[in-house]
């Protein structure tokens, strides 16, 4: 059901040898121009895309670059943070008096004061502005037992008033740097004396649409628990300060996953799934769009492709803020047909680089640059993919499917998403491919 339009360029050479000169400026051998010739430039529109689906390969829980705390007045998003201190010290060494002899005695911790959790706000990702002058962050005891480490609902259920262990109302701009939240000394001491883990859940409890980015262990920023210990229940004698870094050995049978779960975003309510007739990319917990193509072999192998424009109809994200923008990365899929799981196929694509001058990501094979888009925009978007079609020339699609992977650099670490109409949308809104090409058997075309 292609729509064909043909533009004919008529090359006329005057009779006689005098007409066959470099004045024609053709760049081709003169004898080829002497006869009357015509070279066809064909412009065609085809469906092109035969498979489009949203896949959820999202980064493993806790492996993201940051921990997100997000609250929305419309309850569309609810993201909280969990910080694990599974091993707490039981003893301490008293601070050495100035000029005195070092004390090597280890005293049992029987009292503490000044308990606080310290976290580092992320100033590198251009977090959205906070809507209020102050933000209230509340800390909860979210330690669980007999629950899978990656479970969300059982942990979310522990954010109750009865388990609150601290809160702080803080200036909004202060959360862009290192800040702390005071904790209940009795709650922390109980964990120390019972030899149990302290897992702290942080949640924003303030008006407005608020987002706080906290640097995670994945970026080398380790949150810490600090308190002053005492050898007696009389905390007035506390004269040392202990700093405990986040730590966990759970799950015990997967040390890589355990390292991810030092701190992580608890997505109580993440980015809403795409609706009927839609595909989406980005968001929490991270989505990609897999596009499978079926392009006539004669177009790929017997033509010189001049342009190839993928047209996608963008749909505004239902949770988009006016400032939400994203870079849509267009990658050549490299998975072989042996990989039958589409979600896994979406993980295999060309390497990518970053152009600091333009501030854009690009495919290392195709050279295609990311396209900036607002998340609240609507209408058709044109994406040039000719370099990818040229890569498909001469390849066997039954062995390596012709596919394009769409992703956002912020997948899994930002609720920002982009949405497009899918093949299940009304026909006028479905993806399409416009190709401009020159047949290779045209005169003078190599």
Q: Where are the domains of the chain?
A: 42-57+272-439, 78-269
Which pLDDT score is estimated for 335?
96
Task: Tell me the average pLDDT across 118-146.
Answer: 79
pLDDT at residue 245 is higher than 90:
yes
- B/e letters for 118-138, b = 16+ CB within 10 Å, e = fewer, are ebbbbeeeebbebeeeebebb
pTM over 0.95? The answer is no
CATH number for region 42-57+272-439: 2.60.120
Across the range 352-373, mean pLDDT stands at 95
Report d(CA 306, CA 304) in Å as an integer.
6
pLDDT of residue 40: 78
Is pLDDT of 101 > 70? Answer: no
Res 237 pLDDT > 80: no
- At 191, give phi and psi (nearest 5°): -65, -40
- pLDDT category of residue 97 using cuts at 50, 70 and 90: low
Among 174-178, 192-196, 202-206, 371-375, the range scoring the smallest mean pLDDT is: 174-178
Q: What is the pLDDT of residue 61?
A: 86
pLDDT of residue 94: 81
Other C-beta atoms closer than 10 Å to the C-beta of 327 total 19
C-alpha radius of gyration, the chain, whole number: 30
Lowest mean pLDDT among 104-108, 110-114, 183-187: 104-108
Query: Per-residue pLDDT averaged across 341-358, rounded?
Result: 94
pLDDT of res. 292: 97
- Distance, CA of 281 to chain centre: 9
Residue 8 has pLDDT above 50, yes or no: no
Residue 14: pLDDT band (50, 70, 90) is very low
Task: Write down the mean pLDDT value for the chain.
Answer: 86
């Amino acid at each position: 059901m292609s729509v064909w339009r043909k533009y004919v360029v008529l090359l006329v050479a005057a009779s006689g040898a005098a007409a066959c000169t470099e004045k024609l400026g053709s760049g081709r051998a003169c004898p080829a121009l002497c006869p009357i010739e015509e070279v066809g430039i064909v412009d065609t529109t085809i469906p092109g895309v035969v498979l489009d689906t949203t896949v959820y390969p999202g980064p493993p829980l806790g492996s993201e670059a940051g921990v997100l705390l997000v609250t929305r007045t419309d309850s569309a998003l609810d993201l909280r943070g969990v910080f694990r201190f599974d091993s707490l010290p039981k003893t301490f060494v008293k601070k050495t008096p100035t000029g005195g002899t070092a004390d090597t005695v280890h005293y049992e911790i029987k009292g503490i004061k000044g308990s606080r959790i310290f976290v580092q706000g992320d100033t590198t990702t251009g977090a959205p502005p906070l809507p209020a002058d102050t933000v209230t962050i509340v800390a909860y005891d979210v330690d669980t037992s007999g629950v899978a480490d990656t479970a969300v609902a059982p942990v979310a259920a522990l954010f109750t008033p009865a388990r609150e262990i601290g809160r702080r109302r803080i200036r909004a701009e202060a959360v862009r740097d290192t800040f702390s939240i005071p904790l209940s000394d009795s709650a922390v001491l109980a964990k120390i004396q019972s030899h149990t883990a302290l897992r702290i859940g942080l949640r924003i409890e303030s008006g407005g649409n608020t987002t706080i980015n906290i640097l995670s262990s994945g970026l080398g920023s380790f949150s810490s628990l600090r308190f002053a210990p005492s050898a007696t229940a009389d905390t007035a004698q506390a004269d040392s300060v202990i700093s405990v870094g986040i730590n966990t050995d759970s799950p015990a049978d997967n040390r890589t996953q355990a390292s991810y779960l030092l701190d992580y975003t608890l997505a109580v309510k993440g980015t809403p799934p795409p609706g009927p007739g839609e595909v989406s990319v980005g968001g929490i917990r991270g989505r990609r769009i897999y596009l499978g193509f079926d392009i006539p072999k004669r177009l790929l192998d017997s033509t010189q492709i001049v342009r190839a424009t993928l047209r996608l109809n963008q749909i505004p994200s239902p949770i988009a803020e006016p400032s939400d923008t994203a870079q849509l990365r267009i990658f050549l899929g490299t998975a072989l047909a042996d990989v039958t799981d589409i979600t896994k196929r979406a993980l295999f694509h060309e390497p990518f680089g970053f152009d600091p001058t333009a501030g854009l990501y690009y495919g290392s094979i195709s050279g295609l640059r990311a396209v900036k888009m607002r998340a609240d925009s609507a209408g058709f978007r044109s994406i040039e993919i000719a370099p990818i079609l040229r890569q498909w020339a001469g390849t066997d699609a039954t062995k390596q499917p012709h596919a394009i992977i769409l992703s956002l650099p912020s997948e899994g670490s930002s609720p920002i998403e982009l949405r497009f109409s899918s093949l299940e949308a009304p026909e006028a809104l479905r993806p399409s491919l416009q190709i401009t090409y020159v047949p290779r058997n045209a005169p003078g075309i190599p």
